[in-house]
């Protein structure tokens, strides 16, 4: 069953990361329970977001000015994003750039 808008909001903003940040690992089963969805539905929803972000990254990568910017980085290099909820939002630039 597809996630409702409240469940999507909670997943999109990674609300389960609050206990994770406190050092409490959250399994997929527990994460699904927190959101009130099945593991399969949660995995499918997260996969659809990841596919969307990958497509956005491909679009960005095709821009000439992006190539010059991306040349500054090497594979495996870490980039830190500082910010409020916009950096954790699953559709954020931080998640899109992960695909680049």
pLDDT tens sequence for the chain (100 residues)? 789 999 998 888 877 777 777 778 888 999 899 889 999 999 999 999 999 999 999 999 899 888 888 888 888 888 888 877 777 788 888 888 888 8
Residue 87: its pLDDT value, please? Answer: 76
Query: What is the C-alpha to C-alpha distance for residues 84 and 45, in angstroms, rounded to an integer?
Result: 23
Q: Cα 30 from chain centroid?
A: 18
φ/ψ of residue 59, rounded to 5:
-65, -45
42 CB neighbour count, 10 Å cutoff: 22
What is the spatial distance between Cα 61 and Cα 5, in angstroms, rounded to a whole number? 31
Asked if 100 and 62 touch (Cβ cutoff 8 Å), the reply is no
The span from the CA of 99 to the CA of 11, in Å, is 19
pLDDT at 2: 86
State residue 66's pLDDT score: 86
Q: Identify the pLDDT of residue 46.
A: 92
């Amino acid at each position: 069953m597809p996630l409702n808008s409240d469940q999507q909001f909670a997943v999109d903003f990674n609300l389960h990361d609050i206990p994770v940040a406190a050092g409490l690992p959250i399994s997929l089963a527990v994460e699904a329970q927190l959101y009130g969805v099945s593991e399969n539905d949660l995995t499918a929803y997260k996969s659809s977001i990841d596919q969307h972000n990958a497509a956005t990254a491909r679009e960005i990568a095709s821009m000439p000015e992006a190539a010059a910017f991306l040349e500054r980085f090497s594979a495996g290099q870490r980039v830190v994003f500082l910010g409020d909820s916009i950096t954790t939002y699953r559709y954020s630039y931080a998640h899109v750039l992960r695909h680049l």
